[in-house]
Amino acid sequence: MNPHSDPSKHGIDSNSTENAPPVSPTDPASASVNSTHSHSDSDSANNDASANNAERKDPANLTEKTAHSTPAGQSDSAQNSAPASQSFTAAHTEAAPPAETQVTLRGPAELADALPYLMGFYPDDSIVMVALHGERGRFGGRVRLGIPADTAQWPDVADQLADCLISAGPDDAAPPAAIIVYLCQEPAPGETGRDVKDRLRPLAQRLRTACGALDVPVLEALCLSNGRFWSYCCPDFRCCPAEGTPMVMPGTSVMAAAAAYAGMQVRGSLKEMEARLKPRTGRRGAEQEKALDKAAGALVPRMLGNESALAVRRATLDLAEAMIHRFRQDTPSGSNRARDACDDALITDAEAADLILGLQDRCTRDRAAEWMDGSAAAPALRLWRALARRCAGGYAEHAVAPVTLAAWVCWSTEDGPSARIALSHALSLDPEYTFAQLLHRAINEGLDPEPLRRCLREQRREAMGEENAPAPAAGTQSALAGKETPRSPKRPDPARPEAATRPRGPRGATGPGGRTTDRRTRRRAGRDDDRSRR
């Protein structure tokens, strides 16, 4: 299964449902490994299985499964795949044309360069395993996990990752034909990239053994560190030197051109994306914790009451709406760090404390989830991230509500990679948080968020209808609060002349004898005796 040995053997293809550049493979007879995605913003990372942080000690909680059950067929029937050659092909399926255009990735260098585009971010300090399906090798499911610092966990983690990836998908689906393994980690102080490669070699070997025990070979295993890559599968130093091979320059590869054509976006590194949700520290963190203590003393007793809880809920939602309007009026620019600093300056410590504590109420949080699309989505996402960064000190677990809301907005706006990272952070704070569990499972199952969006829109319309309904009078409220008041007796109808004494005229007559005219009839008549309805 050495992809470096024979140039005449099959290649590897990656496939997406997004529009791809009209580039065809250099070798028409080469096989391919296709990756199918159903994300409309060209985000190829929606099928990776994000896991909890590697620092968690229980290996059973380290893996999360991705089930590919989208209608587009995210996982093809797995067939025996021949060893790949140095030609790795990436194919993207256009929406309208029936023919499939392909992009050729030549060798493991471009395969390594394609990883951030497959994930939507650079997965630093991570294990990434990608399944290959079908005779042409279609990229299917993938799992990602932080590399455990404790080497004693590596065997159990390798077994669980292999089982998680190979058993993912419908029960009647065939297992993958092969697997590609990536180990991504930057050198520690005093280390080199080659030292990282040597240190992680036992983990790579254990992953290959675990996959082989399930009758699925590892086609390629790469170590990415310090701008270079190494292959654990190729013993030939002519193509894979001991000092490593430099990565291609960003933006110059075929995959980068295909991503630019399709509008795919790499959102930075995993650490950079997680840093946007981490709480404040230092002096600002201490000041925010004092504001949270003060707000907790005032709000928590009111939240425990019945009538006062409704008032707190309404005040929290009003404040959140005002903050979203404030964020919408001031859109920052620059790097993510600069934009987050601008957002932090838009909200005071007291306002953040009131919102953080108010969102701990489940009903309030569910109503806040209604800001998930349209013009409110972007400022709401910025607000939830800013609140997550304000959960300082002993209030770190309070961030699970705003972080989950941020994940919901990301998923609703078709940003799957950011949603997965936010949900992973939320579940690391509270593994039993039901809202985060449900969202994470829905993303892994490839579900469409639109049904939930429709439900929340209907909830918003009902809430607005109740708020806009006129309030009953004071007398009516007292009557409804007590027993039902007896109805007054029905007023008797005025006496009408008997049929014998009623003046008659010819049928259909309109003269004076044809109808009786009383005051009620005269009042109903319009101008010029017009009786039509208005």
Of 266 and 187, more confident: 187
pLDDT score recorded for residue 307: 82
pLDDT score recorded for residue 459: 79
Helices (H), 85-244: 107-113, 115-119, 154-166, 193-213
Of 472 and 103, more confident: 103
- Do residues 230 and 149 share a domain? yes
Residue carrying the six token digits 């004494």? 501
How far apart are the C-alpha atoms of 409 and 421, rounded to whole Å?
Answer: 13
How far apart are the C-alpha atoms of 82 and 506, rounded to whole Å?
Answer: 100
- Do residues 181 and 212 share a domain? yes
- Do residues 243 and 115 share a domain? yes
Sheet strand arrangement including 228-231: 48-49, 138-146, 126-133, 178-184, 218-225, 228-231, 245-246
The answer to the question of residue 484 being in a domain is no
The answer to the question of residue 295 being in a domain is yes
Helix axes 349-358, 307-329, angle to 10 degrees: 130
How far apart are the C-alpha atoms of 216 and 274, rounded to whole Å?
Answer: 33
- Do residues 242 and 391 share a domain? no
At a CB cut-off of 8 Å and minimum separation 6, what does 151 contact?
A: 202, 203
pLDDT tens digits for 153-190?
Answer: 999 999 999 999 998 766 677 889 999 999 999 999 99
Tell me the CATH number at 182. Answer: 3.40.140
Listed as own residue / partner, the contacts of 523-531 with beta carbons closer than 8 Å and 24 or more positions apart are: none
Q: Which of 396, 423, 404, 419 is closest to 362 using CA atoms?
A: 404
Of 500 and 63, more confident: 500
Split at pLDDT 50, 70, 90, the class of 103 is low
How far apart are the C-alpha atoms of 239 and 231, rounded to whole Å?
Answer: 10
CA distance readout (Å), 42 to 67, 253, 266, 520? 19, 18, 10, 70
Q: Which range (174-188, 465-479, 508-522) has the least confidence?
A: 508-522
Answer whether 118's CB lies under 8 Å from 13's CB: no
pLDDT score recorded for residue 467: 60
Answer whether 225's CB lies under 8 Å from 187's CB: yes
CA distance readout (Å), 469 to 173, 278, 463, 465, 472? 53, 42, 10, 6, 9
- The conformational region for residue 378 under phi > 0 = left, psi -120 to 50 = alpha, else beta, is alpha
Answer whether 366's CB lies under 8 Å from 401's CB: no
Average pLDDT estimate for 237-258: 82
pLDDT exceeds cutoff 90 at 403? yes
pLDDT score recorded for residue 45: 36
Helix axes 282-304, 349-358, angle to 10 degrees: 40
- Do residues 177 and 299 share a domain? no
- Do residues 407 and 424 share a domain? yes
pLDDT exceeds cutoff 70 at 369? yes
DSSP-derived pairing of the beta strands 138-146 and 48-49: parallel
- Do residues 460 and 327 share a domain? yes
pLDDT exceeds cutoff 90 at 391? yes
pLDDT score recorded for residue 65: 38
- Do residues 134 and 192 share a domain? yes
Percent of the chain topping pLDDT 90: 43
Split at pLDDT 50, 70, 90, the class of 117 is confident
- Do residues 373 and 444 share a domain? yes
Sign of CA dihedral 508, 513, 516, 519: positive
- Do residues 347 and 222 share a domain? no
- Do residues 251 and 302 share a domain? no
Q: Provide the token pair at 43.
A: 């985000």
pLDDT score recorded for residue 104: 62
The answer to the question of residue 456 being in a domain is yes
pLDDT score recorded for residue 174: 83
At a CB cut-off of 8 Å and minimum separation 6, what does 418 contact?
A: 120, 267, 273, 407, 410
Q: Which range (115-124, 245-254, 333-342, 426-435) has the least confidence?
A: 245-254
* Count of structural domains, the chain: 2
The answer to the question of residue 429 being in a domain is yes
The answer to the question of residue 262 being in a domain is yes
pTM value? 0.67
pLDDT exceeds cutoff 60 at 300? yes
Q: Which range (60-69, 208-217, 293-302, 372-381) has the least confidence?
A: 60-69
pLDDT exceeds cutoff 50 at 518? no
pLDDT score recorded for residue 150: 94
The answer to the question of residue 448 being in a domain is yes
Average pLDDT across the chain, whole number: 74
pLDDT score recorded for residue 340: 93
Split at pLDDT 50, 70, 90, the class of 265 is confident
pLDDT score recorded for residue 239: 81
Split at pLDDT 50, 70, 90, the class of 366 is very high
- Do residues 329 and 437 share a domain? yes
Q: Which of 22, 198, 26 is closest to 110 using CA atoms?
A: 26
Split at pLDDT 50, 70, 90, the class of 489 is very low
Of 283 and 465, more confident: 283
Most confident of 166-170, 235-239, 344-348: 344-348
CA distance readout (Å), 406 to 25, 158, 489? 40, 31, 60
pLDDT exceeds cutoff 50 at 79? no
Of 45 and 379, more confident: 379
Final residue of a structural domain among 241, 266, 291: 266
Q: Provide the token pair at 46.
A: 């929606």
The answer to the question of residue 281 being in a domain is yes
The answer to the question of residue 21 being in a domain is no
Final residue of a structural domain among 266, 297, 317: 266
Question: Can you give the residue range of the structural domain that contains 152?
Answer: 108-266
Question: Which residues does residue 138 pair with via DSSP β-bridges, in sequence order?
Answer: 13, 133
CA distance readout (Å), 237 to 154, 221, 222, 230, 360? 28, 16, 15, 10, 58
DSSP 335-378: SHHHHHHHHHHTS-HHHHHHHHHHTTSHHHHHHHTT--SGGGHH
Q: Which range (104-108, 175-179, 415-419, 486-490) has the least confidence?
A: 486-490
Final residue of a structural domain among 266, 283, 300: 266
Of 142 and 138, more confident: 142
